[in-house]
């Protein structure tokens, strides 16, 4: 079985976000593998360990993304492909188009990805990718069983549980609870440096910048306003309610 795992490098969730000239300041920021993608990597490795499979990591990003990729390789993935091309660093449309182009050049039976990225939280890329590849997808999966040419998944459905089956090839997105990602072992870290890592450009994928140009544009990035001190309203209930409504309308502007 050939398994592809889509991975994104994101801000460490403990990182304090700072803005400079309307953009997120990246100096001194700690980057990590997207936590939801860790579940996808772990699931792929577990499937590999229970049978015969090859796990390939797919990602897009600048040179720094190699750190997250090496972590996945140290966990047990076999090889990785990085698309390192500024024209590939766009929106969800761009990422899906580029990752689908990489997948089309490789044999695959199962594609795993995180349910969403903790930085933008759109949950779009994997689903768009499945559509471009013309394969079914199962999202928000908390349990996955692969038996022969069939997969059965339990998925979180707004607090309820759905059980879905599909034939390979299929794309599955991992939700928290699917597994407990392992820590890379010292031996795994040593082996990771020797595993195949391929870097590609859009031209090598047969894509042009115009073909994968972003469809969405960020017009403004800003931090939420600092919270002020709380205020306790005094007086009769009717007067307090009236004052509260006035504050919500005129000051907070939430009504």
150: Cβ contacts below 8 Å, ≥ 6 apart? 165, 166, 167, 168
pLDDT of residue 26: 76
**Residue 239: domain span:** 224-255
pLDDT of residue 165: 96
Q: Are residues 8 and 83 in the same domain?
A: yes
pTM, two decimal places: 0.87
Write the pLDDT tens digit of every residue in 59-90.
Answer: 999 999 999 999 999 999 999 999 999 999 99
Write the pLDDT tens digit of every residue in 188-242.
Answer: 999 999 999 999 999 999 999 999 999 998 888 888 777 777 788 888 899 899 9
Q: Over 80: is that where the pLDDT of 23 sits?
A: no
Which CATH number do you get for residue 187? 3.40.50.620
pLDDT range class, residue 28, cuts 50, 70, 90: confident
| Token code pair at residue 172 | 């599955």
pLDDT range class, residue 253, cuts 50, 70, 90: confident
Q: Are residues 200 and 236 in the same domain?
A: no
Q: Are residues 128 and 232 in the same domain?
A: no
Q: Are residues 49 and 106 in the same domain?
A: yes
Q: Assess if residue 214 is contained within a domain.
A: no
Q: Are residues 106 and 147 in the same domain?
A: yes
Q: Where are the alpha helices (DSSP H) in 106-213?
A: 125-133, 186-192
pLDDT range class, residue 120, cuts 50, 70, 90: confident
Residue scoring higher pLDDT (12 or 132): 132
Q: Are residues 168 and 243 in the same domain?
A: no
Q: Are residues 233 and 110 in the same domain?
A: no
How far, in whole angstroms, is CA 15 from its chain's centroid? Answer: 17
**φ/ψ bin of 183: left (φ > 0), alpha (ψ from -120 to 50), beta (otherwise):** beta
Q: Are residues 57 and 173 in the same domain?
A: yes
CA dihedral (164, 91, 35, 11) in degrees, to 10, reads -170
Q: Are residues 189 and 240 in the same domain?
A: no
Q: Over 80: is that where the pLDDT of 2 sits?
A: yes
Indicate the number of domains in the chain: 2
């Amino acid at each position: 079985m050939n398994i592809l795992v889509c991975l994104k490098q994101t801000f460490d969730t403990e990182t304090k976000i700072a803005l400079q000239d309307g953009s997120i300041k990246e100096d001194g920021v700690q980057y990590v593998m997207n936590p939801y993608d860790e579940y996808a990597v772990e699931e792929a490795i577990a499937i590999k360990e229970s049978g015969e499979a090859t796990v390939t990591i797919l990602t897009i990003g600048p040179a720094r993304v190699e750190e997250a990729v090496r972590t996945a390789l140290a966990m047990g993935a076999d090889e990785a492909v990085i698309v390192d091309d500024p024209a590939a660093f766009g929106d969800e449309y761009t990422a899906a188009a580029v990752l689908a182009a990489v997948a089309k050049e490789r044999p695959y039976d199962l594609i795993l990805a995180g349910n969403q990225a903790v930085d933008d939280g759109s949950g779009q890329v994997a689903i768009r990718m499945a559509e471009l590849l013309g394969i079914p997808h199962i999202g928000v999966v908390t349990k996955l069983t692969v038996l022969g040419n069939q997969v059965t998944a339990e998925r979180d459905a707004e607090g309820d549980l759905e059980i879905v089956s599909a034939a390979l090839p299929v794309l599955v997105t991992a939700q928290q609870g699917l597994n407990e990602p392992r820590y890379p072992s010292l031996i795994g870290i040593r082996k990771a440096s020797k595993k195949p890592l391929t870097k590609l450009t859009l031209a090598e994928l047969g894509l042009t910048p115009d073909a994968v140009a972003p469809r969405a544009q960020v017009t403004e990035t800003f931090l939420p306003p600092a919270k002020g001190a709380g205020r306790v309203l005094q007086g009769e209930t009717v007067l307090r309610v009236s004052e509260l409504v006035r504050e919500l309308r005129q000051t907070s502007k939430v009504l």
